[in-house]
Amino acid sequence: MSGVSRRQFLAWGLPAGLGVTGAAVAATDSKATRPAPSGMIHPNPAQYSPGRPIPVERQAAGVPDPMQILSAFDYGKVTQLPGGQTQREYTLTAFDREIQVAKGVTFPAWTFNGTVPGPTIRCTEGDRLVIHFRNEGTMPHTVHLHGIHQADMDGVFEIVPPGGSYDYELVAEPFGLFLYHCHVMPLKKHIHKGLYGTFIVDPKTPRPPAKELVMVMNGFDTDLDGENEFYTVNGIANYFADHPIPIEVGESVRIYLVNLLEFDLINSFHLHGNVFKLYRTGTSLTSYEITDTVMLCQGERCILEFMYNSPGKFMFHAHQSEFAELGWMGLFDVRPHDQRA
Ligand code: CU
Ligand code: CU
């Protein structure tokens, strides 16, 4: 790599035509210009070949569905450090698997822990986080977090080859709604294949109690023509139209809404029969606006809070009609207070 900067190497399309050897070279180059990443392990390509059978625990049965993803929060393995700081350790493993993206339609995804979106990482501001990343996929990957952290924890230059691993360490700040995704080039491909998830940093004084729901808006280009055939929340088109989300009259609802749609410039969320308090990026406890529709670019996210005063079925959907028709539509089933789901 002498005479060639890391940036130049990246600009030449690093992962596109890159075998494991090239990825290992990139990792070595990275080490030469900054402190050696503590968690880097040398690749073991023989163990992670494309033809490798899928282990039983990674097959479709037992994988969380979009309804479970709504409220599946990964708080990590908690320990108290000397001095009283809370440490949370998470494990993210990238691997390839077929996932269902619509009725009868599967997609050859690249996943974190087997789902698209990956697990929702949740913590409190001031916590020390350690994210153990293992790449058991067939391409080089990273975990790029949004939020504040050091350069070598940013998941951009320390590319982890198949069979490699990396520990991301940071102090969670500020509070808000963030996200993570792979940041290997071509980024468009690594994002649209499914390598992303939600990252929630709670304020030290928690938000008021509510039914909390994570909604990751995305799409799938199933015929690889550079356009999405399906639009979803939490990974399966029309899932919440077929399986309305039960809530109660008078119940406070809080949605953590994240846009990871690739190929289309914007996405949106529209709520029927109601308005919501909008907290952009969730970094303030003061509502930015009261509205019924919000538009988000890729990587943007916001917290929505609302409550229904009367029962019935209420739609929520993208206000781009095409997205709604191609799967981005769901229902809240608002039930009287005494009829619990
Ligand atoms: Cu990747
Ligand atoms: Cu990003």
Q: What is the C-alpha to C-alpha distance for residues 21 and 233, in angstroms, rounded to an integer? A: 37
How many angstroms separate the alpha carbon of residue 203 from the centre of ligand 2? Answer: 22
Give 122's strand partners: 200
Q: What is residue 63's predicted lDDT score, i.e. its pLDDT?
A: 77
Identical fold for domains 6-47+64-202 and 211-335, yes or no, is: yes
Q: What is residue 136's predicted lDDT score, i.e. its pLDDT?
A: 97
- Residue that the structure tokens 């070598």 belong to: 152
Query: Could you give the angle at the alpha carbon of 66 between the alpha carbons of 65 and 71, nearest 5°?
Result: 100
With CA atoms as reference, report the closest residue to 257 among 301, 222, 307. 301
Identity (one letter) of the amino acid at 132?
H
For residue 274 the two structure tokens come to 């109601």
Cβ-contact 156, 30 below 8 angstroms: no
With CA atoms as reference, report the closest residue to 70 among 264, 265, 276, 253. 253
Cβ neighbours around 47 below 10 Å, total: 10
For residue 96 the two structure tokens come to 């390839």
Give 270's strand partners: 293, 317
Of the ligands numbered here, which is closest to the C-alpha atom of 140? 1
How many angstroms separate the alpha carbon of residue 181 from the centre of ligand 1? Answer: 8
How many angstroms separate the alpha carbon of residue 259 from the centre of ligand 1? Answer: 18
Cβ-contact 288, 278 below 8 angstroms: yes
Q: What is residue 122's predicted lDDT score, i.e. its pLDDT?
A: 98
Instruction: Give the start-to-end residue ranges of the domains of the chain.
Output: 6-47+64-202, 211-335
How many angstroms separate the alpha carbon of residue 241 from the centre of ligand 2? Answer: 29
How many angstroms separate the alpha carbon of residue 197 from the centre of ligand 1? Answer: 13
How many angstroms separate the alpha carbon of residue 62 from the centre of ligand 1? Answer: 24
Of the ligands numbered here, which is closest to the C-alpha atom of 190? 1
Q: What is the C-alpha to C-alpha distance for residues 270 and 278, in angstroms, rounded to an integer? A: 12
Cβ-contact 150, 171 below 8 angstroms: no
Q: What is the C-alpha to C-alpha distance for residues 221 and 223, in angstroms, rounded to an integer? A: 6
Q: What is the C-alpha to C-alpha distance for residues 243 and 180, in angstroms, rounded to an integer? A: 27
Q: pLDDT in tens for each of the 341 residues of the chain?
A: 333 333 333 333 333 333 333 333 333 333 333 444 444 444 444 444 445 555 555 555 567 899 999 999 999 999 999 999 999 999 999 999 999 999 999 999 999 999 999 999 999 999 999 999 999 999 999 999 999 999 999 999 999 999 999 999 999 999 999 999 999 999 999 999 999 999 999 999 999 999 999 999 999 999 999 999 999 999 999 999 999 999 999 999 999 999 999 999 999 999 999 999 999 999 999 999 999 999 999 999 999 999 999 999 999 999 999 999 999 999 999 999 875 55
Residues with Cβ within 8 Å of 36's Cβ and at least 6 positions away in sequence, in order, are none
How many angstroms separate the alpha carbon of residue 15 from the centre of ligand 2? Answer: 18
How many angstroms separate the alpha carbon of residue 341 from the centre of ligand 2? Answer: 36
With CA atoms as reference, report the closest residue to 133 among 108, 105, 161, 157. 161
Q: Classify residue 261 by burial, with Cβ atoms within 10 Å: 0-12, 13-18, 19+.
A: buried
How many angstroms separate the alpha carbon of residue 181 from the centre of ligand 2? Answer: 6
For residue 298 the two structure tokens come to 């890729």
Report the topology of domain 6-47+64-202: Immunoglobulin-like (2.60.40)
Q: What is residue 27's predicted lDDT score, i.e. its pLDDT?
A: 37
Q: What is residue 248's predicted lDDT score, i.e. its pLDDT?
A: 97
CA 30 to chain centre: 26
Report the topology of domain 211-335: Immunoglobulin-like (2.60.40)
How many angstroms separate the alpha carbon of residue 158 from the centre of ligand 1? Answer: 12
How many angstroms separate the alpha carbon of residue 93 from the centre of ligand 1? Answer: 12
How many angstroms separate the alpha carbon of residue 182 from the centre of ligand 2? Answer: 8
Of the ligands numbered here, which is closest to the C-alpha atom of 186? 1
Q: What is the C-alpha to C-alpha distance for residues 139 and 148, in angstroms, rounded to an integer? A: 27
Of the ligands numbered here, which is closest to the C-alpha atom of 142? 1
In the 8-state DSSP scheme, what is residue 221? -
How many angstroms separate the alpha carbon of residue 164 from the centre of ligand 1? Answer: 13
Q: What is residue 196's predicted lDDT score, i.e. its pLDDT?
A: 98
Q: What is residue 183's predicted lDDT score, i.e. its pLDDT?
A: 98
How many angstroms separate the alpha carbon of residue 246 from the centre of ligand 2? Answer: 31
List, as ranges, residues with CB under 5 A of the ion ligand 1.
141, 182, 184, 190, 195
CA dist list (Å): 115 to 108, 198, 213:
12, 12, 17
For residue 28 the two structure tokens come to 């070595």
How many angstroms separate the alpha carbon of residue 307 from the centre of ligand 1? Answer: 38
